[in-house]
Chain A
């Protein structure tokens, strides 16, 4: 829990951007959009998991 998650997300973002440009050069645009969506879903899963953990701790803490 710390900086490595932020670096992981940034790496995924940069990777998907690169893969996108490569695939676009090889004019396979539909696969490019697929990789963008895949990268987005992967990052969303990581962050949603952290959000759930945060909301549970806040709920337990404040008794909401």
Chain B
């Protein structure tokens, strides 16, 4: 993962996007999507290592594995919807991006319900 390569890709694609903007606006949007995808794919290998080390930490400390997988899902959903919402905002339709963010909040709430229930039942047991 070479940060300079990523910076170079970002700047070059920004310039090419502005170049394409006045003649072919739709291609400029697609170029923005392509640049985003390339930069993320370049960094995904490091993400694998981070997630693997988190799994080791969870096993070492004995925290509930199920809770950790839920947290991981929420992080993944949050990242992907933010990626899509930014693309929609770039394309000029911010309202669609906000709808995606709203849907993601609903999905994340559904995912986190069991964890919240477990926590509350734990607290009820502790209280006299």
Contact = CB atoms under 8 A, between A and B. Distances in A.
Interface of A: 1-3, 5-7, 9-10, 12-14, 16-17, 36, 39-40, 43-44, 46-47, 50-51, 53-55, 57-59, 61-64
Interface of B: 5, 8-9, 12-13, 16, 19-20, 23-24, 26-28, 30-31, 33-35, 37-38, 40-42, 44, 47-48, 51, 69, 72-73, 75-77, 79-80
Query: Which residue of A39, A44, A58 has the most chain B CB atoms within 10 A of its CB atom?
Result: A58
Is the contact region of chain A dominated by helix, strand, or loop, or is it mixed? Answer: helix
Contacts, number: 99
A49 B69 CA distance: 28
A63 B73 contact: yes
B76 A2 contact: no
A38 B24 CA distance: 13
Given A13-B27, A43-B30, 12 more contacts: A2-B42, A3-B9, A6-B12, A6-B13, A10-B16, A39-B24, A43-B31, A57-B41, A58-B76, A58-B79, A59-B76, A62-B72
A61 to B, nearest CB: 6
B59 to A, nearest CB: 16
